[in-house]
Amino acid sequence: MATLPNPLRSPAAAGLELPPGRLVDDTVDGTWTEPLLWYGDESASPGSWAAMRASGRPVGLLPVLIDGGMRTQWPERWDLAPARTTYAGDHDAEDVLSESWEAYADDELNDAPADWPGLAPVPAEAGPDTPDGLAAEVADQLTGMDFSPAGMRAGLVPARRSADIPAAIGWSGPLNHENDVARLCAVLRSWEDRFGARVVVLGFDTMIVSVSRPPTTPAEAEALAAEHFAFCPDNIQQSTLNTLQAYAEKALFKQETWAFWWD
């Protein structure tokens, strides 16, 4: 895959006027060859995500909110591993999910179908918002409600599409489940296409995704619940919503945000 020039090498030359912040090139393998992301020094506020998208997208940067989490861990301490991350386009979403399902479902789900049920269909009804419009709304809601103990900061990542943001920085949040986040980004790409998903927030081991075309029937939600389990088993295994049916009803049915946490 041909790569585009990274505008974070010289933001000023790319025409970017960024607020005070820092470029991150810290990885588990030492200093990376170029900045992996930029994030601001101050807490983000409503409008920050949309402003970053407006300034960054024309030069190949996409916005994401950076969550410091319970332990105030910013990206320099995230154990980023770009050298160990492949390309999302080299993986098939259903292959990734079915392999995970076969590895975990029998042991960890009480109501698991005997076989991988396949990808959920595109919901019959479209939501009222565009994917990016809803992502901006979700970002505004989260930054306006003190969602994170450490606060959230606006970030920019050199990526072609929102689903690729975790792979672009070599994010290791799901390391205990999947050691190549590009495989999960292949799933995020599929969710972009089917559900209008956008990666809005990343933390050390957490992710929040906005969804402009969520399931609007119980059947659609239950079909998708199997994908969520395969993508992030901890969401169900370590939750009070510990069956596919309960998770579908409470976490997916008509829900415009999906939250993930890997133990």
Query: How many Å apart are CA 91 and CA 164, to the nearest integer?
Result: 12
Contacts of 164 (CB under 8 A, 6+ apart): 88, 185, 188, 189
How many structural domains compose the chain? 1
Lowest mean pLDDT segment, chosen from 28-32, 157-161, 240-244: 240-244
Does 124 have pLDDT greater than 60?
A: yes
Q: What's the mean pLDDT in 225-243?
A: 92
Q: Which residue segment(s) compose the domain that 92 sits in?
A: 19-261
Structure tokens belonging to residue 192: 């972009």
Q: Is residue 256 part of a domain?
A: yes
State phi, psi for 8 to the nearest 5 degrees: -75, -15
Structure tokens belonging to residue 150: 């450490």
Q: Is residue 30 part of a domain?
A: yes
Q: Is residue 252 part of a domain?
A: yes
Q: Is residue 80 part of a domain?
A: yes
Contacts of 168 (CB under 8 A, 6+ apart): 36, 37, 82, 157, 158, 159
pTM of the model: 0.95
Sheet holding 197-202, edge to edge: 21-24, 37-40, 152-158, 61-67, 197-202, 206-211, 257-261
Helix (H) or strand (E) holding 21: strand 21-24
Look at residue 3 in the predicted model and tell me its pLDDT.
Answer: 60
Q: Is residue 234 part of a domain?
A: yes
Closest CA to 96 of 119, 121, 122, 120: 119
Q: What's the mean pLDDT in 138-143?
A: 96
Q: Is residue 6 part of a domain?
A: no
Closest CA to 173 of 137, 146, 209: 209
Q: For residues 107 and 232, which has the higher predicted lDDT (pLDDT)? A: 232
Does 1 have pLDDT greater than 60?
A: no
Q: Is residue 177 part of a domain?
A: yes
Does 257 have pLDDT greater than 60?
A: yes
Cα dihedral 99, 102, 181, 204, rounded to 10, equals 170
Closest CA to 151 of 41, 47, 21, 77: 41
- Rg (the chain; Cα; Å): 18
Q: Indicate the pLDDT class of residue 111, thresholds 50, 70 and 90.
A: confident
Written as one letter, the residue type at 117 is P
Q: Is residue 131 part of a domain?
A: yes
State phi, psi for 144 to the nearest 5 degrees: -90, -5
Per-residue pLDDT tens over the stretch 22-54:
999 999 999 999 999 999 999 999 999 999 999
Does 2 have pLDDT greater than 50?
A: no
Please return the burial class of 142, using the count of CB atoms within 10 Å of its CB with bins 0-12, 13-18 and 19+.
buried
- Residue 121: CB atoms within 10 A of its CB come to 12
